[in-house]
Amino acid sequence: MQALSVSAPPHAADTALSRTVHNSITPRPRIRAILPSVTSRNAKEKLRAGALEVAPAAYTARADGQVIPLTPREFELLVELMRRPDEVLSRELLYELCWGQPMVPSDRAVDVYVRKLRSKLDRALPGWTFIHTHYRLGYRFSPQPAEVSDEDVAPAEISEDKRSVL
């Protein structure tokens, strides 16, 4: 017997199997037994990073309880990054996870969506950096307070050695 791999929404699994598996085999009861546990586990999944909370099954992202308006692609990208905190994920892997197909060389879609996602997260939770770039490697999700530049600091807070330069 040959192994069968089906990638379909839960409501389509029976249809897909009944069309691809010989009629003498009836896997439907087994699939129906497995699907509720998978669905309920995913429905309860919540990803948290400080004031950022994501509920993948509900397709919602919140910052301090307020919904962050994300496109489906931005949301999928955020979920995939949050599921692997502090791990550098290549652009190619992120593309496959979010677009469902291999990335075409020189495609900048991941970079564009990361930029849009960063902008929305920055507006929702200013003062925090969530997504970090690793040059030529990919992106890493690791919430950290944003670095403060000299322009953001009041003149009285700038040290003496920096004042001499100003």
Same domain, yes or no: 135 and 77: yes
Query: Do residues 62 and 30 share a domain?
Result: no
H, E, C per residue of the chain: CCCCCCCCCHHHHHHHHHHHCCCCCCCHHHHHHHHHHHHHHHHHCCEEECCEEEECCCCEEEECCEECCCCHHHHHHHHHHHCCCCCEECHHHHHHHHHCCCCCCCCCHHHHHHHHHHHHHHHHCCCEEEEEEECCCEEEEEEEECCCCHHHCCHHHCCHHHHHHC
| pLDDT tens-place string over residues 7-61 | 445 544 444 444 444 444 445 545 555 555 444 456 688 999 999 999 999 999 9
The pLDDT, as a whole number, for residue 44 is 80
Tell whether 63 and 114 lie within a shared domain. yes
pLDDT digits (tens, 9 = 90+) for 112-136: 999 999 999 999 999 999 999 999 9
Report pTM: 0.65
In a domain, 76, yes or no: yes
